[in-house]
Amino acid sequence: MQNIIKRTFIVTVLIVLYLAVVFLVVPLTMPKKGDVIRIDCTWSEISPDFSNEMREACRKARIAKPTTT
């Protein structure tokens, strides 16, 4: 009987810690209003994850700041 109570207590503590991480740490890592979000445009032309607006912004950024080799 004590073994079941001990196991239930440990599982409850682990669930509470997980929820604390999800609801406290994750929101702290999200960008705040006014933060600058940097997008890596390396794969923008061939990646399906980029929207057309993002592709266009990457093209404009490449034109404005050409890379030197």
- What 3 state SS string does the chain have? CHHHHHHHHHHHHHHHHHHHHHHHHHHHHCCCCCCCCCCCCCCCCCCCCCCHHHHHHHHHHHHHCCCCC
pLDDT tens digits, 7-22: 999 999 999 999 988 8
For position 67, what pLDDT does the model report? 61
- pLDDT, residue 6, reads 92
- Digit-coded pLDDT (tens) for 19-62: 988 888 878 887 778 777 777 788 888 888 888 998 898 888 88
Residues in Cβ contact with 61 at an 8 Å cutoff, skipping those fewer than 6 apart: 41
